[in-house]
Amino acid sequence: MDKPVCLIDTESDGKLCVQQSALQILQQIQQPVVVVAVVGLYRTGKSYLMNRLAGQQTGFAKKNHPTKAGTTLVLLDTEGLGDVDKVM
């Protein structure tokens, strides 16, 4: 996978839903998985950190673990917390 994929989205009624296309990608992984997730306030560098971990400037995705052969690294970014413009 060479680009980010949305795993959880919000439906028009405000309910969260799993994106089936992302779930299918994860289900196809046939080796051990290491998940790195980051959560925090909005505009505090979460996506920047994930890009650095992925070794990219923009966008990050599933990739091979840099030090564990035969292991997939999944970088999971989250929506920033506390953004008053995004009220449910």
**Over the chain, what is the mean pLDDT?**
85
pLDDT of residue 43: 85
CA dihedral sign, ordered 80, 81, 83, 87? positive
Average pLDDT over residues 54-62: 71
Average pLDDT over residues 43-47: 87
Q: The tokens 């035969």 sit on which residue?
A: 70
pLDDT of residue 21: 92
pLDDT of residue 83: 73
* Kind of pairing between the strands at 72-76 and 33-37: parallel
Residue 12 tokens read as 């028009």
pTM for this prediction: 0.74
Inform me whether the pLDDT recorded for 36 exceeds 80.
yes
